[in-house]
Chains A and B, each alone.
Chain A
Amino acid sequence: MPSDVFAADPFLPDLYRVGKVRRELADAVTLELEPQSGPRPDFRPGQFNMLYAFGVGEVAISMSASARLGTGFVHTVRNAGAVSGALARLEPGATLGVRGPFGTGWPVVKAEGRDVLIVAGGLGLAPLRPAIQDVLAHRERYGRVTILVGCRSPHDILYQHDLEEWRQRLDVTVEVTVDHAGTDWHGDVGFVTTLIPRSPFDPDKTVAMVCGPEVMMRFAASALLKAGVPASEIHLSMERNMKCAIGLCGHCQFGPTFVCKDGPVFPLDRISGLLAVQEI
């Protein structure tokens, strides 16, 4: 076969080297990856890569920093299984495989001229961070910007430094709520959906981007609908088992869609019928 076929083999990973490693939470780290050769491909907020840990396997992880902020990829990885555990243990200088970018992104450009409402649950803030960074890089192009974050406890708040920096800006509303807290916590306690009716946005001109566990997204979507945001303007990032990321292995099917290529980011009006069906 000609050599260009070799180059086009979508199963072959590119090699990246781990740069900085930052511990975010007890079970999550952020890895900065630099390409071993050639430039990193461009990507959009909300897209993901398949990260390969030598001999262990591949796992789908969203980019967690905007393409504009560096020459490599940034991924926040939670130690939740064999592969993600191996990735979370990588040290600076280690090599790993990367395939991507894959999938649809957040409607950051489409949201220009409108209010932006970010709703993140737990590690769901990671895939949303590049969208927030891109919106804030062109803050003047958007209406009100609101970032709502829900976590398990005050110890599980991801990117505290970023949240603090965004909160300092006068042109962004940042609200963080936790499910469980003691009296030493001075922030909000309650499920993230409780922040939605308290937030300043104009439902007719809002684009909502929601990421977190599926059940959290389902209830956030219902709270947003109740607040008057149209289903076509509510975007969710879905998760399903993913092996190939290129629509060939069949694993990530969600009704008629493939989460890897039709998603992971979907407008709610495309999937609301499926969200209501158990075990789909």
Chain B
Amino acid sequence: MSIETMDRILASQAFFADFPAEFVELLAGCARNQHFKAGEYLIREGDPADRFFLVRQGKVALEITAPARAPVIVTTLGEGEIVGVSWLIPPYRAEFDARAVEPVRAIGIDAKCLRGKCEADHHLGYEMMKRFLPVMVKRLHATRLQILDVYGQP
């Protein structure tokens, strides 16, 4: 088995489809493979949002914990999906816990490093925005449908 280079791994992800080659290379410089055991946290609420993940395998739950209440899972994310969007929005702090529900293999990307590169090169920044904005809109939409509680007794 040949060892895949990070830029080839990134380029093969649907999320980075049509991402310009020079940006893939740039991104690869901020990225590394990471593994999480079931129950381990990828992100903790309130932590600096200096990393986001592209899940390659396994399932991640986004959770909210409130005092005197059982934690609630807001959504689960799997292969090909992004965990962590707060790195794009000031004050760059994580808003949910992200917990591995099962063993997870992911590409972790140093968002702090990437933010600087996006700021320096707005073309790169725009390409990232084009990919992250649909993720956020899709999740907002899905959350609205969950709130509708369509299967409940009216």
Contact = CB atoms under 8 A, between A and B. Distances in A.
Direct contact of A and B (CB under 8 A): yes
Interface of A: 27, 80, 121-123, 150-152, 156, 177, 179-183, 185-191, 193-194, 198, 212-213, 215-216, 219
A191 B73 contact: no
Nearest to B99: A183
Nearest to A78: B153
Given A188-B59, A193-B142, A213 B150 contact: yes
Contacts of B59: 188
Interface of B: 59, 61, 63, 70-76, 78-80, 99, 101-102, 138, 142, 145-146, 148-153
Contacts of A186: 101-102
Nearest to B101: A186
B73 A189 contact: yes
B71 A212 contact: no
Contacts, number: 71
A24 to B, nearest CB: 14
5 contacts: A181-B73, A183-B71, A189-B73, A194-B75, A215-B145
A113 B114 CA distance: 47
A67 to B, nearest CB: 27
A186 B99 CA distance: 11
A152 B72 contact: no
B152 A152 contact: yes
B150 A189 contact: no
Given A179-B146, A183-B63, A151 B70 contact: no
A121 B102 CA distance: 25
Nearest to A177: B76
B151 A191 contact: no
B145 A189 contact: no
Going nearest first, the 8 A-B pairs with the smallest beta carbon separation are A122-B151, A191-B145, A189-B73, A152-B151, A179-B146, A213-B150, A190-B75, A188-B76
Contacts of A179: 145-146, 149, 151
A185 B59 CA distance: 12
Nearest to B77: A190
A156 B153 contact: no
A188 B60 CA distance: 9
Contact of A183 (B70, B138, B145, B150): B70
Contact of A156 (B72, B102, B151): B151
A182 B145 contact: no
Contact of B151 (A121, A185, A219): A121
Nearest to A216: B150
Contacts of B78: 188, 198
B26 to A, nearest CB: 27
Contact of B76 (A122, A151, A180, A190): A190
Contacts of B63: 183
Contact of B74 (A122, A156, A189): A189
A186 B59 CA distance: 9
A152 B70 contact: no
Contacts of A191: 142, 145-146
